[in-house]
Amino acid sequence: MKVIAHQTSPILLDLKANLEDVTSRIRHAAEKGAHLSVFPELALTGYFVGQKYHEAALRMDSPEIKALAKATQGTAAVVGFIEETPAMNFYNAALVAVDGNILFAYRKLNLPNYGVFEERKFFASGKRVQVFTLHGFTMAVFICNDLWHPSLPYLGVVQKADIFITIFNSSQGSMGNEFSNIDSWRIINTFYSRIFGIYNVCVNRVGEESWSEKKSVLAAETATMPASEAITVSLPEEAFHFWGGSEIVNPFGQQIAKAALHEPDEIHAEISRDMLRQKKILLPYLRDDDPYFTHRELQRILFDKGGNDPDS
């Protein structure tokens, strides 16, 4: 199965331009024989959407989503976007469409809410780790911070995932100067492939966006100010550079395709069932994994307050 990872540079809050770019790339990839196209987190909106998140949100029955699904005729795609539900909840989501049909939208489960990250202020959290099948392969979708919580990839593997689709928006400096996002993502992507014996299609974005912290001045220094005169202070904007470096990693933890840093790119790889089989034979790390044991231990840890361990 041929997979293409599209390392794009979305225009912040320009839904129309981003949608045209994504649908065009899907069609061109299909002409090249791609069975699956994968795009970054929030590929239709950009990342620092702030309080305008609702202006770029799409419902699953919107014309834009229908156009995106139509573009997948003869192929498939995973595309990051902002989903609005009929209940008016908003999600950092990934649309999964196959051969012109919408399968589902995966909703990011672990929303960061520290430093420059404000996702939990705007988005609701997902509730499921979903998988889908394509050309005989089982795939699990994850969005950025989901991969930093090992229980979630494990839930994908328990559902027999052969391939992880990992989409993210990672920029330099967003976690401080003491921390390298580039090194950390390389380690994470390789780790899960090597331990779980899965392919990992990892797609980051490129480009630059600015973020500024906004603080409402309602503290002691304005205690005598009438509420109608309360103001909001915007601190100086800081530019963040999304570094790209998308990669596709095989079940042995070996990088088989690598995108450029800091510029749009496109990489592809052939997903081989023979290699998945070879890894399971040579290094069967998960052969004796028992999810029922994991379930029992979680039940004990979470609900057994009496500590009824006969060996304690």
Annotated catalytic residues are 41, 108, 144
Task: Give how far Cα 170 sits from Cα of 80, 189, 207, 246, 308, Å.
Answer: 14, 13, 11, 10, 45
Task: Give how far Cα 269 sits from Cα of 87, 133, 266, 290, Å.
Answer: 39, 18, 11, 32
Neighbouring C-beta atoms of residue 75, cutoff 10 Å? 24
Tokens found for residue 137? 């392969």
Task: Please check whether residue 8 is in contact with residue 21, taking contact to mean a CB–CB distance below 8 angstroms.
Answer: yes
Q: What are phi and psi of 167, to 5 degrees?
A: -115, 140
Q: Which amino acid is located at 13 in the chain?
A: L
Neighbouring C-beta atoms of residue 99, cutoff 10 Å? 12
Question: What DSSP string runs through 291-304?
Answer: HHHHHHHHHHHHH-
Number of helices and strands in the chain (H, E): 7, 16
